Each structure stands twice: as C-alpha cells, then as structure tokens.
Amino acid sequence: MAVDAAAIKTNGHEPSYLEFKGKHTGILGWILSTDHKRIGVLYLISLSIFFLVGVTFGFLMRLELISPGRTIMDAQTYNSFFTLHGVIMIFLFVVPGIPAVFGNFVLPILIGAKDVAFPRINLMSWYMYVIGGLLAVVSILLPGGPADTGWTFYVPYSVRTNTNVMLALFAAFTLGFSSILTGLNFVTTVHRLRAPGMTWFKMPLSIWSLYSTAWVQVLATPIIGITLLLVAVERWLGIGVFDPALGGDPVLYQHLFWIYSHPAVYIMILPAMGVVSEIIPVFARRTIFGYKFIAFSSIAIALFGSLVWAHHMFTVGMSDTGQFVFSLLTMLVAIPSAIKVFNWVATLYKGSIDLSTPLLFVLAFIFLFTIGGLTGVMQGVLSIDMQIHDTSFIVAHFHYVMFGGTGFGFFAALHYWFPKMFGRMYNQKLSKIYFWLLFIGFNFLYFPMFIMGWLGMPRRYYDYLPEFQTYHLISTIGSWILVTGILLMVFNMYRSVKKGKVVTEKNIWGGETLEWQIDTPPIHENFYEIPVVQTDPYQYKLNEAKLEKEVVS
Amino acid sequence: MSSTEHITATHVHRDDVGSRMGMWLFLFTELLLFGGMFILYSVYRFQYAEDFHLAAKELNTILGAFNTAVLLTSSLTMALSIIAIQRDQKTLSLFLQVITIVLALFFLVNKYFEWSAKFHHGIYPGSEELLSKSSGEILFFGLYYVMTGLHGIHVIVGMFLIAIMARMTRRGTITHDNYVRLENTGLYWHLVDIIWIFLFPLFYLIT
C-alpha cells in the first residue's frame, strides 16, 4: 500500500519463517513457536481436521434423512450427531476460523508489526483450542455417549440427560477462553503496534473487521463462559440456578445463552466480510468504494448485533414490548450489512475484473450471504417467525450465512493468502472446478430446506412425513456434490503445500497492502525494517486515473 | 540451512502501556463473567423478593463485614507495595506483598468457617433442609454458594499471582523501572476486591 515498494528492504538471503530455526527444531519448533505466522499455520491444520470431522457428521445426518424412517442410524445416534456437528462446526471451526488462522497470519503484517502484542498468550490460546477440541472428542468416545442436547445445551434437558454433557460443556468453556485470549491480543495489537503513519483510516479493511470482532470476542464470550459453568455446577452439585424443579427459570438460561451466542454470529461473519473487502479491490483493480462506510459498518454490526439476542426466543414467552424492540433491532442490523454489500458491488462496477479463484469465492459469498441475510430479516418479523421457528427454514438460513458466508469467506482467504503463506501455488484449474462443485452442491443442499421449512418440516427431526421426501432427496444429493468439492479442495491444498509450483514473487495478485511487499513466504518477524506508511490502502492510481478519463470523455 | 540458530533471534519487545491495556481488557471479561451472575441475582431477587429477604437473614453480617475490612486492607497493602517498588524500596514492597497474601488467607479461613457453619445447619446444595425451603430461598443459597465460591477461587488465584510476584521481586526481576507485572497483579487484586464490595451488600446487607 501505502509504502513505496523500494522502501522495504529485502536481500533474499534471510530464511523464511518456514525455514527459520529458533531455540527448538523440528516439530517442537512449531508447537513451541510464538511466531504469529507459525501459530496461524498450526491453527489452519487443526481447524481443517475438525472441519472434516464436522463435515462427516453432517454428511451422515444427511444420508440418514434420504428417506423417512430409519436408514443408517437410530434416533439417539442422530441426536448426538446433530449436537456434535453443531458443537464442532460452531466452536471449533466457524468461531475461531478466520481470526485464528488468517487473522493471526496477516494481522501483524497488515499493520506493519513484527508480531502480535502478546505472542506467548497467542500460543496459549492455540493450546486452549486444542485442549477444547480434545475434550469434545473424548466426550464422543467415553461411555455414556456423546451429548445429545443440541449445541445450545438448553436446560432443563441438559441438566437431566445422562450423556457426556459435562465434557462438552468444558470443551465449549475452554474454547471460549481461547477465543477471549485471541480477541484480547488483537485489540491490544491494533492499538499498540501499528507502524508509523498507519493511522486508523489507513488500516486495511480486514483490520477494521478483525478489530470489531475482537471486541465482541472479549465482551460477549465471558457470558457464555459463566452460563455453561452454571449448567455444569447445576449438574454436578445440584445447585438450583436454572432448573425449574429448584425454582430456577429455564428461559433465563436461554437469554444468557443468546446474549453470547447471537453476538457470536457476528464473531463468525465479520472477519469474512473483512476478507471480502480485502479481496475485491485487488481483483477489480479499483479503490474500495466507501472505505469509511465499510469500516464503520463493522463497528455498527458489532454494536447492534450485541442487542438482538432475544430474536432467537420469540416463541418462548416474552412481553410484547420486548418482542417489538428485539424485532426492530434485528431489522436494524440489516442496514450496516447492506451498506457493505452495496459498497462491494459498487467497487466491482467498472473494475478490470480478474476472475481468479479468490474472487470467485468472494462473489459466491456475496450471493449466498445476501440470501442468508434477507431470510434473516424475514425471521425478524414476528408473525413470520411464529410460522417458521424451529423449522428447517432456520437451518437453511444460518447455513447460508455461516457456511455460504463465513465458510466461503474462509475458502476465499485460503486461496488468496495460500501462496504468501507457503510460497507455493495451488492448482488453479482444479480450484475453479471444485469452486463450482461447492457452489452448486451448496445450493442443492440447503435451498430445499427453505421450501420444506416453510411447508412445516421441523428441524432436528429424525423422521418426517412422506410429502417431504423429494426435498430431502435433493438435499442429500446436494451434500454429495458439496463433499466431493470439499475433498478435492483438501486434496489440492495438501498436495500444493508439498508439490505446488514455487512462488518467490512478492506480489502475486497485484495487491497494494503490506503483506504483498514483503518476501514470499515472509521472513521471521516479517520486516527487515518497520515500514513507514504514507498513503491509503487500495489506491490503484493508474486504473482509477484511466477510469476517470473515461467518465469525463 | 545450517543447524545453528538463526541470528535474527526474536526481538525483545517491551510495552508497558500495551500490557496494562491487555490486563484491563482481561478485567472487562472478568466483570462480565460475574455480570452474568449479577443479572441472575437481580432477576430472581425481583421474582422472589420475599424469599430473598428471609434467606438473607440467615447470613452472618458481622463475619461478612469483618471479611470486607480484611479484603479492603489487603487492597491497600497491595497498592502500597507498588508505590514502594516505584520508590525502589524493595524490602518494603516485598513485606507489603506478603502481608497482602496473609490477609487473603485470613479472608479464606473466615469464609471456611462461615461456610461450615451453614453446612452444619444443613444448608448446602441438595440437602433436605434446603430443599424443604421455598424456591426463592433455594435460589438465594444456590447463588450465594456459586458467587462467593467463584469469588473465593479468584482470591486463591490472586494469592498465587502475588506469591509469584513476591518471588520475582526478591530475585530482582521486578524493579523500580520495570514493575508492570506487579501493577497488573495489583489491578487483578483490586478487581477481586471490587467484586466482593458488590457481593457483600447484595447477600448480607439487603435484608
């Protein structure tokens, strides 16, 4: 960006972070490293493993639903599967997702820093993540059976069921801790470690969204921590807090749960929006349209998003005023989200578009997120919510946002930064093939759920009426296409890390942010000298000048 | 690559303002952690005003007040120990830190006697005595045990932290121009104190 490319010294002799030898070598050099880039890669590996486990559960559930009645598993197994699918995907993939992997890798580089503010705490958060993940895995294997409460752990059922709910609770608690540590680290890093000249409004937009996310992580996660802890205490010691038999109020549990878990939705989506804002200018060769609007809309989403939790609970009994206020606030969140979408589209307009894989994923993001977002507004309408609450319409909606949005954003980021991270290029032709498989498979899988949900198919049901058969069949076939795409992608990435074409060029996509001006792959501590930033990100002066001429003539 | 360590060893980074900022953010999370329980407390108090009133009478206000004084004093000694290290009075600072730990221990011992007295009267989670009471009273004592218990855990963690700081002070790692760790521990200790300042009136004084 910003900096004159010649101002950043490179001599090509320094070893990259992949080759760097510190105090420890071999595997220890990785799992004891406090280098933010190595921690990012560690997260990438562990996250991918859990993602594949989550995909497996989802795939098997879909297979079970291919026809009514029992197909491949019994009802109890099915209950455990949707719980595990939810817990793993939410707490181990989507929530840490982009911040932990790409945030860790590029945040310090993008602001011109050598590392995050607290490198050791950063490593600790990865350990917490792994411990949390292992606890979740152990809860599957131990006698008693995996938790069957759904990822929401609603009381009183979660207090009474005999499955391994305790372990699942502690897994979620530990993962929450990990998330808090990452957030705390990022907030401090952005405040303290920006390079000279990197003012707030010269920061790349992904930093704005990671920064807003980090605040939500810090402020919302403790609430889920204490709530899950209270459920654990209630199970363990029989202390009455939520259990109605002891005078407690289960609805209060739901409030506390969603006070975190709704903002968590924005923890999941905001970083993906940042990635989109980062990628679009590069592949359209244009200055981002409405920089400040995008930046502030991230803050606005974080703010409003923290005040809408009760829209998950319109049917549990609440005062009319409460329902009205939460419904209104829910619709307000749509405004900053729409601002972003309009700005992205406006940036693409008249750009010289390079349809590479990262941009394809980004375009898919915009398309799918718009569907997911607009159906979200529908659910914010009280009368419609009464009809579709707890139906597969909801399942379709949040998969469009979480998978179509965050998931595709994650894939976009992966395909965008992969060459920088590993100094190797993936097979681009193959990547376009599986992009289409993912996109088509995704829509086949989730779109029928909108229709059958509208017609009355409840979510989390093991069995269904014959009239829903066609939709379920289409959906299951979609899951096969999607999984094929995912496997091809994993194969491509795995192979490319080892055998991909070597990339030494610093700026493979023609980006103007700082990460494209340092070595590929980056050296230990990123910069030989901390750069001095002078101009805004995403200038693309040549292109913009040409455009202006066209408009004038 | 040679097998020797690369020369560009990780730079030593020190940023006191950043450390304090990180600590404050952490304290926010702690406040919110307790905040969740304060919400529960206020909702249930509103729902079962009568029962809470009755149950609160069972708590020993004198013991509670005594503990409040102990904890407040410990916060004072903690703050003084930071001032002492700033003035390069190492021994005094060390002495004050040890006093803080002793006061914290005092608090816990007191708490132990208080809890055992309750147990003696048959008021503990799941006991017949407690379950025969009204819903509001069960909730009151549930919250009492959970909130003071979690606070107690924080006291123990604080004691460990101060003990580590005392060790560092003795070894000269914490000095008059590098004391941010002691300062952060102090901040944590004041948080523990502040939470107690809210717990005390909510459980003991409002009857």
Task: Report CA-CA distances (Å) from A363 to A98, A182, A409, A436, B88.
Answer: 18, 29, 10, 12, 61
Tokens encoding B67:
């503990």
Task: Report CA-CA distances (Å) from B124 to A228, B81, B202.
Answer: 21, 39, 19
Interchain CB contacts (distance < 8 Å): A and B:
126
Interface of A with B in 383-412 (CB under 8 A): none
B1 to A21: CB separation less than 8 angstroms, yes or no: yes
Helices (H), A423-507: 428-455, 469-499
A70 and B CB contact within 8 Å: no
Query: What are the tens digits of pLDDT across the range A300-326?
Result: 999 998 999 999 999 888 889 999 999
Burial classification of residue A12, based on how many CB atoms lie within 10 Å of its CB (0-12 exposed, 13-18 middle, 19 or more buried): exposed
Interatomic CA distance for residues A397 and A449, integer angstroms: 9
Interatomic CA distance for residues B6 and A19, integer angstroms: 10
**Is the confidence at residue A23, as pLDDT, over 90?**
no
Report DSSP letters for A170-232, one per residue: HHHHHHHHHHHHHHHHHHHHHHH-PPTT--GGGS-HHHHHHHHHHHHHHHHHHHHHHHHHHHH
Interatomic CA distance for residues A81 and A147, integer angstroms: 9
Interatomic CA distance for residues B179 and B183, integer angstroms: 6
Interatomic CA distance for residues A403 and A90, integer angstroms: 10
Interatomic CA distance for residues A509 and A507, integer angstroms: 6
Task: Give the number of other CB atoms < 10 A from CB of residue A15.
Answer: 16
Q: Closest partner residue to B17 among A25, A192, A525, by Cβ?
A: A192
Task: Determine contact, residues A544/A286, Cβ cutoff 8 Å.
Answer: yes
Query: What are the tens digits of pLDDT across the range A71-123?
Result: 999 999 999 999 999 999 999 999 999 999 999 999 999 999 999 999 999 99
CA gyration radius for chain A?
A: 23
Average pLDDT over residues A267-276: 95
Average pLDDT over residues B120-135: 85
* pLDDT cut 70: percent of chain B above it: 94
Interatomic CA distance for residues B123 and B114, integer angstroms: 12
Chain B contacts of A256, Cβ < 8 Å?
A: 36, 39-40
B139 to A247: CB separation less than 8 angstroms, yes or no: yes
A524 to B6: CB separation less than 8 angstroms, yes or no: yes
Where does the pLDDT of residue B7 fall: very low under 50, low under 70, confident under 90, or very high at 90 and above? very low
**Is the confidence at residue A2, as pLDDT, over 60?**
no
Beta-bridge partners for A502: A424
A501: enclosing H helix or E strand: strand A501-502
- Residue A2 phi/psi, 5-degree rounding, is 60, -75
Query: What are the tens digits of pLDDT across the range A511-545?
Result: 989 999 998 899 988 998 889 998 888 888 777 78
Task: Determine contact, residues A213/A273, Cβ cutoff 8 Å.
Answer: no
Helices (H), A501-552: 541-552
Query: What are the tens digits of pLDDT across the range A127-144?
Result: 999 999 999 999 988 988
Where does the pLDDT of residue B2 fall: very low under 50, low under 70, confident under 90, or very high at 90 and above? very low
Interface of A with B in 496-525 (CB under 8 A): 523-525
The closest of A336, A343, A350, A250 to A297, measured between CA atoms, is A336
Interatomic CA distance for residues A264 and A271, integer angstroms: 12
Q: What is the model's pLDDT at position A9? A: 46
* Pick among A128, A184, A189, A257 to test the B interface (most B CBs inside 10 A): A184
Q: What is the model's pLDDT at position B58? A: 87
**Domain spanning B17-205: which CATH class is it, in words?**
mainly alpha
**Is the confidence at residue A160, as pLDDT, over 60?**
yes
Task: Report CA-CA distances (Å) from B59 to A113, B115, B145, B146.
Answer: 54, 10, 12, 15
The closest of B142, B131, B140 to B42, measured between CA atoms, is B140
A184 to B25: CB separation less than 8 angstroms, yes or no: yes
DSSP state of B207: -
What residue segments make up the domains of chain B, in order of their start? 17-205
B157 and A CB contact within 8 Å: no
Task: Give the number of other CB atoms < 10 A from CB of residue A150.
Answer: 17
Q: Find all residues with CB under 8 Å of B194, minimum gap 6, and list them.
A: none
Interatomic CA distance for residues B56 and B48, integer angstroms: 12
The closest of B157, B173, B154 to B165, measured between CA atoms, is B173
Chain B contacts of A34, Cβ < 8 Å?
A: 10
Amino acid at B153: I
Task: Report CA-CA distances (Å) from A322 to A16, A126, A318, A389, B207.
Answer: 56, 39, 6, 17, 31
Nearest Cα of chain A lies from the Cα of B128 at a distance, in angstroms, of 12
Q: Find all residues with CB under 8 Å of B158, minimum gap 6, and list them.
A: B104, B185, B188, B189, B192
**Is the confidence at residue B109, as pLDDT, over 70?**
yes
Number of domains in chain A: 1
Give the largest CA-CA distance in chain B. Answer: 76
A192 to B29: CB separation less than 8 angstroms, yes or no: no
Chain A contacts of B139, Cβ < 8 Å?
A: 240-241, 246-248
Where does the pLDDT of residue A549 fall: very low under 50, low under 70, confident under 90, or very high at 90 and above? confident
Q: Closest partner residue to B18 among A34, A192, A226, by Cβ?
A: A192
The closest of B17, B11, B180 to A191, measured between CA atoms, is B17
| CA A142 to mean position of chain CA atoms | 29
Q: What is the pTM of this model?
A: 0.92
B139 to A191: CB separation less than 8 angstroms, yes or no: no
Interatomic CA distance for residues A406 and B122, integer angstroms: 52
CA gyration radius for chain B?
A: 21
Chain B contacts of A114, Cβ < 8 Å?
A: 11, 13
| CA B37 to mean position of chain CA atoms | 15
ipTM confidence score? 0.89
Q: What is the model's pLDDT at position A4? A: 45
B143 to A188: CB separation less than 8 angstroms, yes or no: no
Task: Determine contact, residues A225/B33, Cβ cutoff 8 Å.
Answer: yes
B136 and A CB contact within 8 Å: yes
Chain A contacts of B48, Cβ < 8 Å?
A: 247
**3-class SS of residue A538:** coil
The closest of A212, A336, A343, A368 to A281, measured between CA atoms, is A343
Q: Distance from first CA to last CA of chain A, Å, rounded?
A: 29
| CA A286 to mean position of chain CA atoms | 26
Structural domain range at position A343: 5-552
Interatomic CA distance for residues B14 and A208, integer angstroms: 25
Query: What are the tens digits of pLDDT across the range A429-484?
Result: 999 999 999 999 999 999 999 999 999 999 999 999 999 999 999 999 999 999 99
Task: Determine contact, residues A239/B125, Cβ cutoff 8 Å.
Answer: yes
Q: What is the CATH number of the domain that holds A393?
A: 1.20.210.10
Q: What is the model's pLDDT at position A318? A: 87
Task: Determine contact, residues A391/A454, Cβ cutoff 8 Å.
Answer: yes
A114 and B CB contact within 8 Å: yes
Burial classification of residue A319, based on how many CB atoms lie within 10 Å of its CB (0-12 exposed, 13-18 middle, 19 or more buried): exposed
